[in-house]
Amino acid sequence: MSDELLIRQMDRSELDFAVELAAKEGWNPGLHDADSFYAADANGFLVGLLNDKPVACISAVSYEKKFGFIGFYIVAHGYRKKGYGIQLWNAAIQKLKSHNIGLDGVLAQQHNYKKSGFKFAYSNIRYEWKNVRQRFDKRSLFDGATFPFERIYEYDRKFFPADREEFLKHWLSMPESFSTVHMMHNEVLGYGVVRKCRVGYKVGPLFANDAATAENIFLNLADQLEEKTPIFLDVPEVNLKAMELAKKFGMKNVFGSARMYTGEFPDISVDRTYGVTTFELG
């Protein structure tokens, strides 16, 4: 038996191991996230093995070979404090060495990420809300499943530092999910996705040109779900209107993360981001 960690690229089935580890950490991943994640970058996931047994994971997803995102940084219980985590971390950083790298890390670990050159940009707050159906304006709302993908993709480009077309195609067609688009006068003003998770549902992304549009999209997504269903929304703390929306609905703060980058902060519309797509891939 060897104590040497073997690090290699995951295959698709091993990504399910990473999702399961995330669930055990209480991160509440979506039931069907893995296919979308793998579509983003099939080479972007690393697994650490001891004697052929997976014990740790990390994602190092590359977008256009210029922007990277690190997530799923987990060592299984019973294998921690043995140096395996830092080995995986170094492998992920090396894989993305030519990229501007982003992550959504645990707030308490910011000082460790800073050692690798990451700079704090802002906090994201995860809110929980028990669904209460409310009136909303159904006019100008369109089902994302039948809406022209090219229009959603074009709008999404304002909110992410690189092209993520393949990811988005899968994200919008996940089982047990629903998406909606707000369009007026042939202009897309926002869109959102809600998907089933281990506990309740998550809304993400929720992008909108203004708070009223974001609220209308959110209520339309919530209207697809049963009353009292837990709904989670990850809000950039720097978007004060998004924070006000969470307060308006009496959402409960349950978790926080630090968005950090190794390079320049990307020029993306954080002020119109009312819900982050996913902490794992940005």
Please determine, looking at this structure, whether the domain spanning 6-101 carries the CATH number 3.40.630.30: yes
In angstroms, how far apart are the furthest CA atoms of the chain? Answer: 66
Contact (CB, 8 A) for 124 and 276: yes
**Looking at 10-149, which runs of residues are DSSP E strands?**
45-50, 53-63, 67-75, 100-106, 119-130, 141-143
Contact (CB, 8 A) for 59 and 42: no
**pTM of the full structure:** 0.95
CA–CA gap between residue 264 and residue 281 (Å, rounded): 18
CA atoms within 13 A on the CB side of 12: 8
How would you classify the pairing of strands 53-63 and 45-50? antiparallel
Contact (CB, 8 A) for 93 and 58: no
Instruction: State the pLDDT at residue 273.
Output: 98
Instruction: Tell me the CATH number for domain 126-275.
Output: 3.40.630.90
Instruction: State the pLDDT at residue 1.
Output: 62
Q: What is the pLDDT along the chain (282 residues), one digit of tens a residue?
A: 668 999 999 999 999 999 999 999 999 999 999 999 999 999 999 999 999 999 999 999 999 999 999 999 999 999 999 999 999 999 999 999 999 999 999 888 888 899 999 999 999 999 999 999 888 888 899 999 999 999 999 999 999 999 999 999 999 999 999 999 999 999 999 999 999 999 999 999 999 999 999 999 999 999 999 999 999 999 999 999 999 999 999 999 999 999 999 999 999 999 999 999 999 999
Give domain limits for the chain. 6-101, 126-275
Task: Say yes or no: do domains 6-101 and 126-275 share a fold.
Answer: yes
User: Alpha carbon of 98 to those of 66, 102, 263: distances in Å?
Assistant: 7, 13, 10
Give me 253's structure tokens.
Answer: 């703060």
Residues near 101 by beta carbon (within 8 Å), at least 6 away in sequence = 67, 68, 69, 70, 93, 118, 261, 262, 263
- Give SS3 for 244: helix
